Chains A and B, each alone.
Chain A
Amino acid sequence: MSDPTPTNPGITETERDELRRHGILLTGLEELYNWGRSHSVWPLNFGLACCAIEMIAASMAKFDIARFGSEVFRPSPRQADLLIVSGTVTKKMAPQVVRLWNQMPEPKYCIAMGACAISGGPFKQGYNVLKGIDRFIPVDIYIPGCPPRPEALLHGLVQLQEKIRNQAIAGPDAPRHLQAEGDCNCPIPECGAHDIEPAQNGALWPKPPELVRPTKS
């Protein structure tokens, strides 16, 4: 498939700004489409642990996530664009989180909010705690903190909007759901005898290279 958008629109940024000052808006379909999408990211109404309280705080009066177009927290994954993994994901909860992710329609995005969602955080040593949700689902934005402040969540959201604005809608750089052979579903882990199986999604979390120790001669 060839790229329908020309690589050189034949007009510079300065010329475009000059036209905009005269009330003439020149844009492409991709830009317009992404501009619209990036300002109506609807998150899933889904809280896991402590970070969920800060997520609620971000949607309340003082921080007001509505300024960024994301105040519409949807209870159903079918209506949501954004999964905010806000808190510790335990091994009992991981299958449910992946299932929710699979139930969301594309295009969809994921924010790992807080240390636990990123890596297990302070509870990493625990036997029941997943060491990061990015082992199972693709994460777009990581927000560090324990818990991150609401401002940090807003910053993460702005970064996500930036990412959405720069997405191609066709061609080889298009996101996975626009690729012909792109698979949007992640395998759902199950509770095994000792651990959840599989312990990670192989496509997202490849096995680290074999450690070669120098042999004593």
Chain B
Amino acid sequence: MNASPFTNPSTGAHVRSVRSDLPGDLMEVSMGPHHPSTHGVFRMIVTLDGETIVRLKPVFGYLHRNHEKLAENTSYLGSMPYTDRLDYLNSMTNNWAYARAVEQLAGIAVPERAEYVRVILAELTRLLNHTCLAGFLMQDCGCSGTPLMYAFREREKILDLFESLSGSRMMCNYQRFGGCRVDPSADWLARARQLVEEYGPFLDEFEALLTGNEILLARTQGVGRLSAALAINAGVTGPMLRATGVNHDLRKVDGYGVYPRFQFRIPLGEHGDVYDRYMIRILEMRESLAILRQAFAGLPAGPIMNPAAKLRGFRPKVGEAYGRIEGPKGEIGFHLVSDGGPNPWRYHVRAPSFINLTILEDLCLGHTVADAVIILGSIDIVLGEVDR
């Protein structure tokens, strides 16, 4: 054990080498909260032995915006815009998860057309999230510019669709309890169908640039390996879990909405490393395109909103409900406890970003700082959801 020059005698805090056979001191580096690679205001206190990480302590809370407490003091509908700002890349799926929780709590049925529209929007959101993630991951690898530019070009096309439907680019606030706010027009559907047709060629182009790229393979293969057992024990969900080879997708497991009517496959990884996580997302996008095509073909006519659903003076009966869906980042769920009043008595968000982040230290140990950056990038976090 070697003494460290960083010992603080007043607090007794110090860092020591954990390997006695290795001479030299450890160094503590604070990455964040202002660091370009931490995807927001996340902070990692990394203990380094040379350049190898021997300890990693995450520090959260720099974006703690009191989401749950605010929701307990607003009406049920009043929390809908706040859910947009949880995971601000995927407002549509957040809306849907929250709407599902309230619909379960109050026993509201959803018309078939609304369920189809929800599937269409959720899959478009998945495309958007995974494309942006691939771009950001390449940015973390040091490829600054081109992949992110391509990703954001496609993101803008999807955002244009969202904007013409909901009136807002990012914060859509579109789902309601018992349906959706407005009915998509025939013109909108035609444009969305056009986008889906053009997305496949874009993915081909994107993959031609990235998937077989030697630098990408060298940087990501075998890095940040996650075992299936640890993933299950830590409650990891979404593409992170499926990259370890565990076949768990709520779209199949729960079969919520109208997902059982669609033919699609669940891509599974083998190694659970960063490359698998990247590849799972690319493959999921291809499956999303298949779902979207089937949803456009099967979209029924009918009301978009349950006429019996009540928006004003909404007071669900006493009880509790947990509504969850498969969001792009994993299982996003809302646990609501009602005491019969106009606001929830308890409101809890099961945030996939936060729970997936808990295994960060296990993934990073033994890797270099540069690898920690891409491991964090591959976990796919949004700080709005981690800190809430």
Which residues of A line the B interface, CB within 8 A?
45-50, 52-54, 56-57, 60-62, 75, 87-88, 90, 92-93, 96, 100, 122-123, 125-129, 146-147, 149
Known A-B contacts A60-B148, A122-B81; the reply to A48 vs B41 at CB < 8 A is: yes
Q: Mark B139-159, 1 if CB is under 8 A from A, else 0.
A: 000000000110011011000
Q: For the complex formed, measure the closest distance between the CB of A7 and the CB atoms of chain B, giving whole angstroms.
A: 44
- Nearest Cβ in chain A — how far from B34, in angstroms? 6
User: B152, A62: Cβ atoms under 8 Å?
Assistant: yes
Contact between chains at A93 and B73 (CB < 8 Å): no
Main secondary structure of the interface of B (DSSP, over half): loop
Q: Does the CB pair A100–B73 fall under 8 Å?
A: no
Contact of A60 among B41, B88, B152 (CB under 8 A): B152
Which residues of chain B are near A87, meaning CB under 8 Å? 63
Contact between A100 and B384 (Cβ–Cβ < 8 Å)?
Answer: no
The answer on a CB contact under 8 Å between B65 and A129 is: yes
The B64-82 residues at the A interface (CB cut-off 8 A) are 64-66, 69-70, 73, 81-82
B286 contacts the other chain (CB 8 A): no
Task: Evaluate whether A90 and B152 lie within 8 angstroms (CB atoms) in the complex, with A45-B36, A122-B85 already known.
Answer: no
User: Residue among A50, A128, A146 with the most chain B CB within 10 A?
Assistant: A50
Q: How far in angstroms is the closest Cβ of chain A from B186? A: 26
Known: A75-B36, A147-B170. A62 touches B153 (CB 8 A): yes
Given A123-B70, A126-B69, A53 and B64 touching (CB < 8 A)?
Answer: no
Instruction: Judge whether A128 and B66 touch: CB under 8 Å.
Output: yes
Which residue in chain A gives the minimum CB-CB distance to B60?
A: A92
C-alpha spacing A52/B34, complex, angstroms:
13
Q: Closest CB-CB distance, A183 to chain B, in whole Å?
A: 23
Is there contact, CB below 8 Å, between B66 and A123?
yes
Contact for B62 among A45, A54, A92, CB less than 8 A: A92
Given the complex of chains A and B, what is the CA–CA distance between A96 and B34 in angstroms?
A: 8
The CA-CA distance from A54 to B170 in the complex, in Å, is 9
Give Cα A128 to B169, complex, Å. 27
A46 with B65: CB separation less than 8 A? no
Residues in B neighbouring A123, C-beta threshold 8 A? 65-66, 70
Q: Does B61 contact A (CB under 8 A)?
A: yes
B155-181 residues with Cβ-Cβ distance < 8 A to A are 155-156, 169-171
Q: Told that A90-B62, A129-B66, A147-B171 touch, could you supply 20 new A-B pairs with CB distance under 8 A?
A: A48-B40, A50-B170, A53-B170, A54-B169, A54-B170, A57-B152, A60-B149, A61-B152, A62-B152, A75-B35, A88-B63, A93-B33, A96-B62, A123-B65, A127-B69, A128-B64, A128-B65, A128-B66, A147-B88, A149-B169
| B134 contacts the other chain (CB 8 A) | no
Chain A residues in 8 Å Cβ range of B152? 56-57, 60-62
Min Cβ gap B83→A in Å is 12
A126–B171 touching, CB < 8 Å: no
**B170 near A48 (CB under 8 angstroms)?**
no
Question: Are A48 and B63 neighbours in the complex by a CB distance under 8 Å?
Answer: yes
Contacts of B155 in A (CB 8 A): 57
A129: which B residues are within 8 A, CB to CB? 65-66
Picked from B34, B36, B153, B383, the residue with its CB within 8 Å of the CB of A49 is: B383
- Distance in Å: Cβ of B65 to nearest Cβ of chain A: 5
Is B305 part of the binding interface, using a Cβ–Cβ cutoff of 8 Å?
A: no
CB contacts (< 8 Å) of B149 on chain A: these are 60-61
Contacts of A75 in B (CB 8 A): 35-36
**B183-217 CB contacts (< 8 Å) to partner A:** none
Measured in the bound complex, the distance between the Cα atoms of B39 and A47 in whole Å is 8
A93 in contact with B89 (CB, 8 Å):
no
Q: Specify which chain A residues have a CB less than 8 angstroms from the CB of B383 in the assembled complex.
A: 49
Q: Given the known inter-chain contacts A47-B40, A50-B171, please indicate yes or no for A92 contacting B64, CB distance below 8 A.
A: yes
Asked whether B156 lies within 8 Å of A62 as measured between CB atoms, the reply is yes
Chain A residues with CB under 8 Å of B82's CB are 122
Q: In angstroms, how far is the closest chain A Cβ from the Cβ of B33?
A: 6
Residues of B within 8 Å of A96, CB to CB, are 33-34, 41, 62
17 of the cross-chain contacts (CB-CB < 8 Å) are A46-B34, A47-B41, A49-B41, A49-B85, A54-B169, A56-B152, A57-B156, A62-B153, A62-B156, A75-B35, A75-B36, A96-B41, A96-B62, A100-B34, A128-B65, A147-B171, A149-B169
- Distance, CA A122 to CA B78, complexed state (A): 11
| Complex: chain A residue closest to B148, CB-CB | A60
Asked whether, in the complex, the Cβ of B36 is within 8 Å of the Cβ of A93, the reply is: no
Cβ A61 vs Cβ B153 within 8 A? yes
B81 partner residues in chain A, CB cutoff 8 A:
122
1/0 per position for B329-348, CB-CB distance to A under 8 A? 00000000000000000000
CA distance A75 to B65 in the complex (A): 25
Q: Nearest Cβ distance between residue B382 and chain A, in whole angstroms?
A: 9
- In chain A, what residue has the closest Cβ to B73? A125
B347-388 residues with Cβ-Cβ distance < 8 A to A are 383-384
Q: Are B384 and A50 in contact (CB under 8 A)?
A: yes
A140 to B70, CA, bound (A): 30
Measured between C-beta atoms, what is the minimum distance from B154 to chain A in Å?
Answer: 10
Whether B65 lies near A90 (C-beta < 8 A) is yes
State A61–B147 Cα separation when bound (angstroms).
11
Q: What separation, in Å, do the CA atoms of A87 and B82 have in the docked complex?
A: 14
Chain B neighbourhood of A53, CB < 8 A: 88-89, 170
